[in-house]
A and B are shown apart, each in its own frame.
Chain A
């Protein structure tokens, strides 16, 4: 587990509980080290999105603690948010703003000085191949382009922890590759990435560690080999491991 036991934890979640009509997250513990790429997997309704929304400061938990780079995110959410970026599967951008205007706004929210924000925004727009659309209103962009704009927004303030909820949903192969490349490059620069995905191949290839969540609890965690051992499946694919780990117990007649 890189760095996570040496004290340089990017994310430390303990005993997290959150209920809506029924428990969505039920006593979840999660530790992610600085500079780590962590993938959170789980069946639909397992509590992945709720967990990440709590970490990003979008939901308050019923119980438990969330610490981001040692900052208590529940006691001092503003300081914690300064270090994070949140990207959801549904791009949260403004239809009536252009990508460039959107990046200027997001950079301003994170208090980035205008000149350096502009330089950063130009780089990102170019890197994400959005240059031809940089000054078009976002309402005319495709889903993939919108997702790239949202990702650029997440990166424009140089976050130390990027939290992504299904960021590859609806992207074509080229756009998905671009997003994956961007994330890997960030991890190389010691940024931490926590991502949920249903594309197991992505988790298998990109993540240093994978967490499997079911019914609001972390039921398995580690490298692919660790997970294989925990599932007792031998030398099989992550898909097989995942299906074994998340299999519903057979109900008694």
Chain B
């Protein structure tokens, strides 16, 4: 038994909370039995291993002598995963200071807050590593079976990357706090996190589009261009690649670096973390809006007011702002593709139709969840003198209009190129967003807006239906742009998915 208040005791407490959180997410809030979750997880693990087998089976024989193209490809993939880990860590570390939860209780207790925060940063590192392992482990497993135990060093590389990412996230978050203050850090951290998570992928895709005319980053990493600019074999830049290929010394260096990058910021900053958390409480967080009432009391029907209210709330939602920014950033490579092939054959633009349609479906689903399930004052709306359908219609309109506003620049550019293509893509965007919105309405379950991250857990069926509907509308849009009557096929499947979702909606 650990002594109450000791590091071990706190670690046990944190582990229990972490496990219950994971359990809640896996079982969709306790609605799924563990055996069911276990079966799905097993199937997912098998599927991931199958995908990994298909992707890396030919590379199991790679060695430290395989040449710069291999080093370049492995390093590129490592940087990509590391930046995603850094993005996730930054978001989690910043949340430590803003989440009230048990903080007031712990602050009022004689427990050492320095110790607690250090422990929670360590927990962020563990969670970051665990999340990365979900993606990486199948690849390492397949490579180890096919190419030998030396590939197991990949696990060590992932651990060192997770430790380093969490330490860097702590430094970044602290820098944001010191420069921007508690009011702005949350939004800034979310935006920085979104940019870090997507910048590398987008940058590489942009380079790929401009240099080799493709959006594939792997093609770029292995290209002659990458090899020409690659450093010599002994460079420290190749350390992760060498460690992954089984170089024990490189792995040890990476692990030591990872531990240092986590422990040093923890030791240096643990005292200030307590101050950051204190600064986010109460008056310091007051967010003053513009003075005066000019423009607040405006004429309009209740429906217009409801739409306006949704837009104001969406605009002020920092989490959504960062997510939308990320989606917009991901649209840069296809936009470049559009620009590059402007005036070229229509075939090159086919790729834009599914990308935009898919993104619209996902964006529409997220917005619809916020507007419908995330309504903060459902009783107010229900007690207002409005037919229930009209309030819902106003929310649907608000969502669809935002989706079209986001995608309008693309549609306008396409309109100059080909009105038919623009109209087809617009139809795809509208249908995908509308379908996701309808699914969110049918499966709505009242929740606080701040639980947006967990919206998938409220209904797995809605999540899958939304994803499949977006995919099938994307396929229909791509086929219709070709142009081909075969588009009727995926469109019919999308409608069947919608009808199925409607039939099994909770009543």
Contact = CB atoms under 8 A, between A and B. Distances in A.
Interface of A: 56-58, 78-79, 81-82, 84-86, 88, 92-98, 100-101, 104-111, 113-115, 117-118, 121-122, 135-137, 139-140, 153
Nearest to A165: B379
Interface residues of B, number: 36
A84 B302 contact: no
B296 A93 contact: no
Given A98-B289, A114-B299, A121-B297, A78 B387 contact: yes
Contact of A104 (B285, B296, B380, B386): B296
B293 A84 contact: no
A136 B376 CA distance: 17
B302 A92 contact: no
Contact of B296 (A96, A101, A136): A101
Contacts, number: 106
B379 A88 contact: yes
B288 A136 contact: yes
Given A79-B385, A135-B291, A140-B287, A153 B312 contact: no
Contact of A97 (B290, B313, B381): B313
B300 A108 contact: yes
A111 B287 contact: no
A81 B383 contact: yes
A108 B289 contact: no
25 contacts: A56-B379, A57-B382, A78-B386, A78-B387, A79-B385, A82-B385, A86-B383, A93-B376, A93-B380, A95-B376, A95-B449, A97-B312, A97-B313, A100-B296, A106-B384, A107-B297, A108-B300, A109-B384, A110-B384, A114-B299, A118-B297, A121-B293, A140-B283, A140-B286, A140-B287
Interface string B418-451: 0000000000000000000000000000000100
Interface of B: 283, 285-293, 296-300, 302, 305-306, 309, 312-313, 316-317, 376-387, 449
Contacts of B376: 92-95
A152 to B, nearest CB: 12
Contacts of B305: 105, 108-109
A185 B312 CA distance: 34
A32 B380 CA distance: 23
A56 B449 CA distance: 24
Nearest to A58: B382
Which of A56, A107, A108, A136 gathers the greatest number of chain B CB atoms within 10 Å? A108
Given A81-B384, A137-B289, A104 B302 contact: no
A197 B283 CA distance: 31
A105 B287 CA distance: 19
A33 to B, nearest CB: 22
A22 B385 CA distance: 30
A76 B386 CA distance: 11
A90 to B, nearest CB: 9
Contacts of B299: 113-114
Contacts of B309: 94, 97, 105
Contact of A111 (B285, B302, B313, B317): B302
